[in-house]
Structure 1
Amino acid sequence: MKIAFYGSSLVSSYWNGAATYYRGLLSALAGHGHEIVFYEPDAFDRQANRDIPDPDYARVVVYEASPEGLARAAAQAGEADVVVKTSGVGYADDALIEAVMAAARPGAIRLFWDVDAPATLAEIADAPDHAIRRALPSIDAVMTYGGGDPVVSRYRALGARACHPIYNALDPATHHPVDPDPRFACDLAFLGNRMPDREARVWDFFLKPAAGLPDKRFLLGGSGWNQAEMPANVAAIGHVGTRDHNAFNVTPTAVLNINRESMASIGFSPPTRVFEAAGAGACLITDAWEGVELFLAPGEEVLVARDGADVAEIVATLTRARAEEIGARALARVRADHTYARRALEADAILRRLAAEKAAKGQAA
């Protein structure tokens, strides 16, 4: 099938945490014979901070972040068998979902792919005139990259015909063990952009434990932290491109995952960082969220911290030998159970079922 996919960016991870998800899933979907065109706006300096060339599994169309540019890109949805609008594109999202769904041909499959479902649901729950709410009746299915039954039930209650979580996963060709890099040597590292609903949790789970462990070294990667006050033993290194993710994950004794508040409260939403770290063989410490045991076994394949005090205790007592054992078990688990090849099987089956249902309705008409 021809898929028109409207997202934030496929070629740049700059202020774009969904890049890894898009790359892993779409490359695997292309392996099922789908022809993919990824439409992304020229916004947020992402094109100036590309970290991959145009891939061979999708054609990338960069459109001007203007009403005219959006209109031209949206009109091309009419050529596709499947039209996908994601959340968080970053330029005129409301206008974009209206334009691409209107441009889709009558027999096309229409999907809204939510890569931040807790935040989206909070935004639209009490806004019946929101563009997403208005689009739901014409959308064949909502796809999410997490959230489990809580997100599915909430979307169905808002009028979605169907909702299917397709979780983050590992692309072993991209994230894998590498040699350590002295630039990233430390006891604990965290990688994440500075976001309003993440900042307080970064203080609680990362900066506060660092302040209490002055003899340990901490590394903070991600955009937006350069103006924040840091304990003396924390080094903020700014944006870390995807080419350095493996070394960033494998070099420290452990790496930390901190979910944003909205994601942690709903659970069942492992971010891309979980699988990137495990895929590199890193020892991962994660904040606690419901459903973590569905992806990695606590205490064996991942260490779970309820709060900053737990993080401090883990870092103070964790040996390199134990960290390497946990990382090795995590690597084996995600390679066996949580790859994008597996996720693409799920997504492909959904697309083919929706196409068959559309065809049957067309014949009946």
Structure 2
Amino acid sequence: MRMVIFGLTVTSSWGNGHATLWRGLIGALAPLGWAISFFEHDTPYYAGARDIDRLNGGNIVLYADWENIRHEAEAAIREADVVIVTSYCPDAVDATRIANDSCRGLKVFYDLDTPVTLASIERGDHPAYFEPKGLRDFDLVLSYTGGPAIDTLRSILGARHVLPLYGHVDPDRHRPAQPRSEFAADLSYLGTYAEDRQAAVETLLVAPAARLPNRRFVIGGAQYPQDFPWSSNIYFVRHLPPADHPAFFSSSRLTLNVTREAMARQGWCPSGRLFEAAACGTAIISDEWAGLDSFFTPGEHTSAHRAAELDRILNDAFASMSRGTMEEAV
């Protein structure tokens, strides 16, 4: 079975949560019989912080310009059993139009940023990664967020068949590791800077650091501004490649999870960092949101489990198509 993915990035985890998720999912889908190609627009900011140049279980197609890759994309779509277009893919609309014209299999949209998508719609800002008519042309829509967001994707964006496909962690890559002195922390936080997380980060990490000058605090991430309220006992790691995440978490007595405002408001949207830290055996402090207490049954959220879930969803959709209907897989 052939799958073609048009996504944001799989080669760089800098400033995004997509790459690590795709690596785990693709690596776990390959043994199930999937041949996968991932089309990624080669952008300078990801090229400068590339974590991998080879994809376990799949093929990377890096391109500098969509017009130069269009014919290759058209050929891949024609041969594919499944075409997946994702949120924040720079050429999502062009890929979707080609899929509408020539895809013989399933057309799938995977929104890995559903709360951001819905918040944009509420503000009257149409996301650039799908057409104004919404998601009605896709056979299946997958959402990184569950709960009420599923119904909203149907009612507002016209998605016909929607299912959640949550985050996950690869336990072969994220497990307890040897602590490292540069990551040693009484409290750590790993996350890209975001204005809508800043108040919580200041409350839950910066303020405690000021009250506890003899304790060590560590922040890892990207895009932190110069005016961030650093103190002498808050240490910073600018970009932490996924290979270093286990050592980072394993070097912390506690680690902090702070959810972006749109995600917390929607609920049912666990970040990959939650699963990574849990897989490394690190105690987590988290802000609260609807559904949080439903995601921590041991062993459930591995990449292999999520790949098996996606494989079942797609095969159920194929069966529905062969019957001439698209009954929602449950």
Using structure 1 for the length normalisation, give the TM-score.
0.82
**2: CA distance, partners of 1:191 / 1:341:** 24
Quickly say closer, same or farther: Cα 1:85–1:100, change in 2 above 3 A: farther
- Tell me if the contact between 2:120 and 2:126 (Cα under 8 Å) persists in the aligned partners: no
Structure 2 CA distance for aligned equivalents of residues 116 and 269 of structure 1: 9
Q: Is the 8 A contact 1:86 1:113 kept in 2?
A: yes
Can you list the C-alpha shifts for 1:196-234, whole angstroms capped at 9, x where unaligned? 333333223322232232222110110112512312221
Q: Which runs of 4+ in 1 moved over 6 A?
A: none
Gap change, CA 1:261 and 1:129, over 3 Å in 2: closer
What does residue 25 of structure 2 align with? Answer: 25
In structure 2, C-alpha distance between the alignment counterparts of 1:244 and 1:218, rounded to whole Å: 17
Give the C-alpha shift of residue 133 in structure 1: 4.6
Tell me the equivalent position of 1:52: 52
Aligned to 2:246: 246
Q: Is the 8 A contact 2:221 2:238 kept in 1?
A: yes
Q: Distance in 2 between matches of 1:128 and 1:193?
A: 23
Structure with more helix by fraction: 1
Task: Structure 2: state its 5+ residue gaps.
Answer: 326-330
**Counterpart selection for 1:348 from 311, 314, 317:** 311
Give the one of 341, 353, 358 matched to 2:321: 358
Query: CA 1:240–1:56 in structure 2 vs 1: closer, same or farther (change >3 Å)?
Result: closer
1:123-134 equivalences under 5 Å are 123-125=120-122, 131-134=130-133
Specify the alignment match of 1:110 in structure 2. 107
User: Number of matched residues?
Assistant: 320
Counterpart for residue 329 of structure 1: none
State the one-letter code of the partner of 1:291. Answer: G
Shift of 1:70: 5.7
Query: CA–CA distance in 1 between the matches of 2:14 and 2:235?
Result: 20
Q: For the Cα contact (< 8 Å) 1:74–1:99, is it kept in 2? A: no
CA–CA separation in structure 1 for the residues paired with 2:97 and 2:318: 22
Identify if the C-alpha distance between structure 1 residues 286 and 44 changes in structure 2 by more than 3 Å, giving closer, same or farther: farther
Identity %: 35
1:126 shift after superposition = 6.5
CA RMSD of aligned residues (A): 2.1
Deviation at 1:87, TM superposition (A): 0.6
Shift of 1:287: 1.1
Distance 1:221 1:123 in 2: 28
Q: Which amino acid aligns with 1:186?
A: A
Distance 2:31 2:108 in 1: 20
The answer (yes or no) to whether the contact 1:80–1:104 under 8 Å persists in 2 is: no
Match of 1:325 in 2: none
Contact residue 107 and residue 140 of structure 2 kept, 8 A: yes
Q: 1:126 to 1:232 in 2, by over 3 A?
A: closer
SS at match of 1:225: coil
Instruction: Report the alpha carbon displacement of residue 263 of structure 1 after superposing the two structures with TM.
Output: 0.7
